[in-house]
Structure 1
């Protein structure tokens, strides 16, 4: 293994050489009108192209007939819910399978490849936010495995037959340095994975419950897709960037480049895949990937007919992923381990997660279901009422209302407290996509009251009692991503928004805004605005106004937040001058919010500490009325849950909760949580201890499917914290 990886040390240097070979290939927009991330070919006598659909309204995966490659025919559309992954698995018992996992419910579903119908008994819930799925067949045992990539973690699964039905068995979970958005597996069992602006990594697939060694293959790359061409004498690695495909040989030397014609403003979105058998119009096979170009999204097909000879690669049309690579297969999962573990030396067993005993003959559950549930299978808990999560450690709460659907891609809410009457308070939300971009205002039952167009605002916060000329007003503030500006609107006495003079302020040239929050200094009385970029550069502005009430800003500070990874959510504590920020893959950091404060941060909670999971998204603060008490809330996107910490140092962990279905009111659970906001004031009889509002990524409808537009859930803070913690806030 060391010898293999030593050979890839020259990889980065090889790409700097002048490429001797390149070939232009004409692309065909073969299927459009949906939002794919991945494509994969299914080999059979009647081959298919599979592609996920990440659209909120439909979501699932599509199956296209390849009998006419110039215009794909849709054979089936399985609306399982918004998804990023789909993969074929071959020769499981007597059939081939399609495997996918949906974001709204984290359920892995298995379909018969011949009938394209689901096999319900094979369902398996794997909580997380999943980006890609790669299949590997062991050359020693012939067993079929899957690697499910997500937020800095991989789940390895065995696919086998159990009582004539397919079964997915978890082998292990292990950490990786990045989110694996694209992956491929070579004939020798080397798994490559990467994502945009990240290095290319690899590990060797093994039949073991021990985590593999993760090695960095290259420096940072623009990798949007990975695939393997299984040649006659060696494998070739294909790396897609935004506009082309780089081809490398088995020693990681550049063979050449595939360039493209036919699609204006092409951007490869991912899902690069290769088909190595004859197709109509291309005897040598084809490749496919998800794309954006012009005004279209979908999948494209390109022929390998001219590409392979131009790159000096001999076609290998006899390759088939369904063929076993071993002549005398030795099953690593033997009977003496009850089929629930790998068989080691001297009669030992490596039990799979959820199994224990000398022969792996009994099942166990993580933390024994935390005392709030019953262990009914391997790492499978049946939680008691008011508890949820893989080990029943999440408090389960229900939303009282959800907002009317609005906008194509919602993100973050804020809560405005009415000075006239608390029950007239409003919820302000953002839509950061081009479709419906702007703000929306809702009442405390989620009824839409107003839409205010803006340049794709992301996070939003409320500023109270700001002096603008001879007026004292409330404002909303957000980072607007379309034009990289600071966006401010006035909040009227009824809680609606209106434009204000000086409401748009440009950030420095080449700075791309992402998240934002506000801070009112107790020390100076000055109002500040924070904005950050994806690369963690924070800018702090002082907000003021001219004598005639026109808003103006002045840059007073900049610093790099966290460890320099992607950041977004932040919240400031006006009383203590703390600024809390979320670094999505790393954790929660605390800084001074004062413009002359230290630029050195303190990590108060780390991803992978046993509680917090990537991505760290929204942050909100509920301070006590008096004193240092109160709570810091953070949304943990990868587990669709929320963690609560003490507001005061050392910010001890308090609890985790998740929002489950409220069948009585027809409100679904929250998945892939993002922005959040909370207040501890009594607003009305339904929110007697305050209100918690959260973004819901996929609003599932009672009649099936998901809504095309975003919604936000409204939860009683008393239902989350309980009476004693609510009482401690002192409102």
Structure 2
């Protein structure tokens, strides 16, 4: 007999998602003026709508009154830091909680919600290092326990939320891999969890009270998903799938029962977080939907009534649903005293222990790798690290930034370091802003002071080209892929490190080619200068850069190939002397290719996401070679864990170390979170950077006075603080 999940996959074979839009919901912008990724209804006599705040300036989450006589007034705004998640969990020891995990510190927080408002539960905090997109809560029909499934970059953390009226704790059950970064999820009454993301298949797994990794099933590769929600009924649930300006409705066997068009908001763009309210109010007698949206003028939360739409698709209204209802009359606990309440009873006097517990009865508290001998185990899988160490198991070298750049405008991404030809202390840092706001290149000095901003069409990854023959003279250049007009954009660098336009500084790419990442390569065999650019489909183009006699730049396409396994790529760096190109495939790892245009188009993967060191997304890649020989180091920005992995430059590119950038409280400089582009040089620049400089993008720049800056910054770190004096001296600069 076929399993239920197998049946779902088979039932969808040949299913057409293009159906008549036989129902309609007229939406209204209910709460606007902030960036949201999702919305969640909170059931109460006076219902609330919860929305994450993804903006850099405010962050955290917002609570709105959705009662009958309300005008969707905001009742709370807790500025915990920019986040994507705010989710209710009901009846935890008699209390209702809200769960939120901000990006800057990856700490899952619980807040008690009551008629008196929202208040933090201080002891209910748990750090899950990563970049998290969505969270679904499941209440076991067997035990009545509450579990969360936290979705991030190709992984899910399952945790338990339990407590009494006076205490609450969050315990990690397990972490397991998934094929994608989950951005939307929902749970049916039977515990079947659906998840997906934009332009990705719909997947499922069965939630269980077990530490055994669930089987991930591909449900459909054709269903388009931006948001997911469940409409609960006694006789069978319905799956609501939002995309474009439509909600498709499926029954429990994944049969398409109807499609609901969404009107009322021109130029609607659904951002995610579809939520359904299945209770009756005077405003919404048959319930409502809500989700995060954007249009041409604003962003926030949209809401609409369900009444006519449900009838049109043949769904009987169920406003008796209450998430606090006990799912079991005689609940049978699977977390038992036999397992010290720290594991599942697996029968035959055996236990499945939660993460951080061990022993036949799960009574022993343990930590990963015994905190790597750089700290002590202070709780279940909670390491208290010694000074100079960080990370879940205290294996990350902790370094501090000496300086950070001034505000960079909009969405910064990638830096480059220009070395002054005669006075290294006058070297400069060039950074990019890829958003429309502040788009262009910005030049900083070695203390992070802004010196120049040069507008450009949303440049992304910037590199420096030294001593390029321009007409009859040698000139330094900057190069980046410019997303705004899909061009290769180049500027001249003068003798003081400032940028200026140059003839031929905007070079075209093929029609319909959308640029994404870029880097440069100069062949030591031929002396020729090359530019690499890629799009999101991993299509790499290699151009030769030349100049006319009168000093006008020109490019010639000399090579095309697919990078990595065809997933999204961006960061790359060339080893000029070795003739290698290293590129980062964001969800998969680091690959090495021949950089010469006549080289092999077959790459070699040198580091893999999920290997115990590297985590998705792989972002910036930088290289510092030794002045002689083949030694040196490759630096890889691991965005999901806000850290950096260092490998040997020479094959087989063995792992060297992991480091992360922590708070420098004395200087008032915050830690780095959601790292992106990076740059590194080994030159002695000044007394602050005697063995070289490492520069990195900081996505969520927290301010000393509280809150988060509107604009990204870049952190400046001494390379000697990262590698140590012995390694930096061995580079030979």
TM over 0.5: yes
SS of equivalent to 2:142 = coil
SS of equivalent to 2:179 = coil
Contact 1:591 / 1:599 at 8 angstroms: preserved in 2? yes
Correspondent of 1:374 among 376, 394, 413: 376
Give, in whole Å, the separation in 2 of the partners of 1:314 and 1:272: 20
SS of equivalent to 1:698 = coil
Pairs within 5 Å for 1:391-406: 391-406=393-408
Structure 2 partner of 1:39: 39
Offset of 1:459 from its aligned partner? 0.7
Give, in whole Å, the separation in 1 of the partners of 2:508 and 2:521: 19
Structure 2 partner of 1:330: 332
Correspondent of 1:641 among 636, 640, 643: 643
Mean CA deviation greater in 283-292 or 157-166: 157-166
CA-to-aligned-CA distance 1:223-280 (integer Å, 9 cap, x gap) = 1111111134211111111221111111111111111222221111111111111133
Structure 2 partner of 1:611: 613
Pairs within 5 Å for 1:130-209: 130-161=132-163, 164-209=166-211
Give, in whole Å, the separation in 1 of the partners of 2:70 and 2:536: 39
Offset of 1:471 from its aligned partner? 2.3
Contact 2:251 / 2:257 at 8 angstroms: preserved in 1? yes
Structure 1 partner of 2:479: 477
Pairs within 5 Å for 1:177-256: 177-256=179-258
Give, in whole Å, the separation in 2 of the partners of 1:281 and 1:13: 40
Measured at CA, do residues 246 and 683 of structure 1 come closer, stay the same or move farther in structure 2, by a change above 3 Å? Answer: same
Contact 1:86 / 1:98 at 8 angstroms: preserved in 2? yes
SS of equivalent to 1:664 = coil
Instruction: Say whether 1:72 aligns with 2:72.
Output: yes
Measured at CA, do residues 76 and 21 of structure 1 come closer, stay the same or move farther in structure 2, by a change above 3 Å? Answer: same
SS of equivalent to 1:123 = strand
Offset of 1:302 from its aligned partner? 1.2
Moved over 3 A (4+): 10-15, 68-71
Offset of 1:7 from its aligned partner? 2.9
CA-to-aligned-CA distance 1:557-580 (integer Å, 9 cap, x gap) = 111110111111000000011000
Offset of 1:6 from its aligned partner? 3.0
Offset of 1:21 from its aligned partner? 5.2
Pairs within 5 Å for 1:547-566: 547-566=549-568
Structure 1 partner of 2:444: 442
Contact 1:21 / 1:310 at 8 angstroms: preserved in 2? no
SS of equivalent to 2:201 = strand
CA-to-aligned-CA distance 1:168-199 (integer Å, 9 cap, x gap) = 01011101011101100001100000011111
SS of equivalent to 1:336 = helix
Structure 2 partner of 1:431: 433
Give, in whole Å, the separation in 1 of the partners of 2:141 and 2:581: 53
Structure 2 partner of 1:412: 414
Structure 2 partner of 1:620: 622
Give, in whole Å, the separation in 2 of the partners of 1:552 and 1:247: 54
Structure 1 partner of 2:501: 499
Structure 2 partner of 1:129: 131
Give, in whole Å, the separation in 2 of the partners of 1:366 and 1:410: 35
Measured at CA, do residues 459 and 68 of structure 1 come closer, stay the same or move farther in structure 2, by a change above 3 Å? Answer: farther
Pairs within 5 Å for 1:53-64: 53-64=53-64
Mean CA deviation greater in 190-199 or 229-238: 229-238
Mean CA deviation greater in 540-549 or 97-106: 540-549
Unaligned runs of 5+ in 2: none
Instruction: Say whether 1:681 aligns with 2:683.
Output: yes
Contact 1:11 / 1:218 at 8 angstroms: preserved in 2? no
CA-to-aligned-CA distance 1:474-506 (integer Å, 9 cap, x gap) = 111111112111111111111111111111122
Structure 2 partner of 1:26: 26
CA-to-aligned-CA distance 1:562-604 (integer Å, 9 cap, x gap) = 0111111000000011000000110000001111111101000
Offset of 1:16 from its aligned partner? 1.7
Offset of 1:69 from its aligned partner? 8.6
**How many residues of Structure 1 are paired with residues of Structure 2 in the alignment?**
731
Pairs within 5 Å for 1:650-661: 650-661=652-663
Correspondent of 1:306 among 285, 305, 308: 308
Offset of 1:668 from its aligned partner? 0.7
Give, in whole Å, the separation in 2 of the partners of 1:246 and 1:598: 46
Q: Normalising to structure 1: TM-score of the pair?
A: 0.98
SS of equivalent to 2:5 = helix
Structure 2 partner of 1:468: 470
Give, in whole Å, the separation in 1 of the partners of 2:464 and 2:53: 36
Structure 1 partner of 2:85: 85
Give, in whole Å, the separation in 1 of the partners of 2:18 and 2:688: 68
Give, in whole Å, the separation in 1 of the partners of 2:223 and 2:17: 16
Offset of 1:112 from its aligned partner? 0.6
Q: Normalising to structure 2: TM-score of the pair?
A: 0.98
Give, in whole Å, the separation in 2 of the partners of 1:248 and 1:339: 39
Correspondent of 1:583 among 582, 585, 588: 585
Structure 2 partner of 1:107: 107
Give, in whole Å, the separation in 2 of the partners of 1:78 and 1:666: 23
Structure 1 partner of 2:9: 9
Unaligned runs of 5+ in 1: none
Give, in whole Å, the separation in 2 of the partners of 1:580 and 1:163: 54
Offset of 1:123 from its aligned partner? 1.2
Give, in whole Å, the separation in 2 of the partners of 1:593 and 1:64: 55
Mean CA deviation greater in 20-29 or 410-419: 20-29
Correspondent of 2:703 among 695, 701, 704: 701
Contact 1:12 / 1:219 at 8 angstroms: preserved in 2? no
Give, in whole Å, the separation in 1 of the partners of 2:313 and 2:10: 20
SS of equivalent to 2:721 = helix
Over aligned residues, Cα RMSD in angstroms? 1.3
Give, in whole Å, the separation in 2 of the partners of 1:662 and 1:376: 24
Mean CA deviation greater in 6-15 or 213-222: 6-15
SS of equivalent to 1:659 = strand
Give, in whole Å, the separation in 1 of the partners of 2:70 and 2:537: 41
Contact 1:19 / 1:255 at 8 angstroms: preserved in 2? no
Give, in whole Å, the separation in 2 of the partners of 1:510 and 1:195: 24
Give, in whole Å, the separation in 1 of the partners of 2:222 and 2:464: 38
Contact 2:339 / 2:351 at 8 angstroms: preserved in 1? yes
Offset of 1:15 from its aligned partner? 4.0
CA-to-aligned-CA distance 1:611-641 (integer Å, 9 cap, x gap) = 1111111000000001101000001111111
CA-to-aligned-CA distance 1:273-327 (integer Å, 9 cap, x gap) = 1111113332111111111111211110011011001111111100111111111
Give, in whole Å, the separation in 2 of the partners of 1:14 and 1:234: 23
Structure 1 partner of 2:664: 662
Give, in whole Å, the separation in 2 of the partners of 1:100 and 1:202: 24
Offset of 1:70 from its aligned partner? 8.5
Offset of 1:20 from its aligned partner? 4.8
Offset of 1:10 from its aligned partner? 4.6
Give, in whole Å, the separation in 2 of the partners of 1:135 and 1:720: 40
Contact 1:536 / 1:565 at 8 angstroms: preserved in 2? yes
SS of equivalent to 2:407 = coil
Structure 2 partner of 1:725: 727
Structure 1 partner of 2:342: 340
Contact 2:111 / 2:121 at 8 angstroms: preserved in 1? yes
Contact 1:197 / 1:220 at 8 angstroms: preserved in 2? no
Offset of 1:416 from its aligned partner? 0.4
Give, in whole Å, the separation in 2 of the partners of 1:183 and 1:299: 18
Offset of 1:728 from its aligned partner? 1.3
